[in-house]
Amino acid sequence: MRILLIDDHTLFRVGLQGLLENRNIEVVASLGDGYEGIRAAMEIQPDIILLDMRMPDPDGLTVLRQLRENGLEMPIVILTTSSDEEDLVESLRNGASGYLLKDMEPDALVQSLREVQSGKTVVAPELAGSLARVVQGGEKEIEKEPEHDLFSELTPRETEILTFLANGQSNKSIARDLGISDGTVKLHVKAILRKLGVHSRVEAAVIAVEQGLRESSRQRS
């Protein structure tokens, strides 16, 4: 696993690099400036980017948006001190694959990174309630207004996989249930995100739940 660290706090960044390297995780670059981080990400193409939220211009959300706008598709995990629900939502909306807090246990961080590498979206356990409210549409300010014709662009298989995403299943779990390969699921998920015009699995799941696909999936099972 090749990690790019982007965090303006030098002591934390150096300590985190040592922690990861002691667990046989390669840190390909460790940078304190967002713009340098964007350039490095495009050049190095790491497996995962660990990105701080609270940085001076540009802040973490700006870096996240620019990375996605530049077409980078590798997982980006926000690692921050902020437990603010709005920060969590905005990060996931803009394509983050995870949102973790800096006070977590080192081994839990490593495990979360491995889950992200396997295709899962990870969120700090302390913020699970916030994520649940998002999925259930409890926050008016972040509600989307998805149109039913968005789903008409999906193939039957893509619609089926979207219902699994709405239930929080990983690619491996979906592949096992449908009797297809992980790679095939990954291709379908990529197509679903493109057709729905979203950046992350979580955002697609939010839309699916709002349209009742999760309930439909349960009824069929």
Q: What is the pLDDT of residues 3-51, one digit of tens each?
A: 999 999 988 888 999 989 988 999 999 999 999 999 999 999 999 999 9
Are both 2-135 and 144-220 of the same fold? Answer: no
197 burial via Cβ count (<10 Å: 0-12, 13-18, 19+): exposed
Token pair for residue 206?
A: 């939010």
The helix or strand, by DSSP H or E, that contains position 31, with its residue range, turns out to be strand 26-31
Distances (CA, A) of 2 to 21, 87, 96, 117, 205: 10, 26, 17, 10, 28
Residue 96 has pLDDT above 70, yes or no: yes
Nearest to 102 by CA among 117, 124, 76: 124
CATH H-level, domain 2-135: superfamily: Response regulator (3.40.50.2300)
* pLDDT band at residue 212 using 50, 70 and 90 as cut-offs: low
* pLDDT band at residue 215 using 50, 70 and 90 as cut-offs: very low
In this predicted structure, what is the pLDDT of residue 199? Answer: 72
Predicted TM-score (pTM) of the model is 0.63
What are the extents of the domains in the chain? 2-135, 144-220
CB atoms within 10 A of CB 127: 20
The mean of the pLDDT values for the chain is 82
In this predicted structure, what is the pLDDT of residue 86? Answer: 83
**Rounded Cα gap, residues 30 and 41, in angstroms:** 11
The CATH number that domain 144-220 falls under is 1.10.10.10
pLDDT more than 90, % of the chain: 29
The residue that leads in pLDDT, 101 or 210, is: 101
In this predicted structure, what is the pLDDT of residue 87? Answer: 87
Q: In what order do the strands lie in the sheet with 2-6?
A: 26-31, 2-6, 48-51, 76-80, 98-101, 122-123
Residue 171 has pLDDT above 50, yes or no: yes
**Rounded Cα gap, residues 85 and 98, in angstroms:** 14
Token pair for residue 55?
A: 């940085």
The helix or strand, by DSSP H or E, that contains position 204, with its residue range, turns out to be helix 201-210
- State whether residue 24 is helix, strand or coil: coil
Residue 209 has pLDDT above 60, yes or no: yes
Residue 181 has pLDDT above 80, yes or no: yes
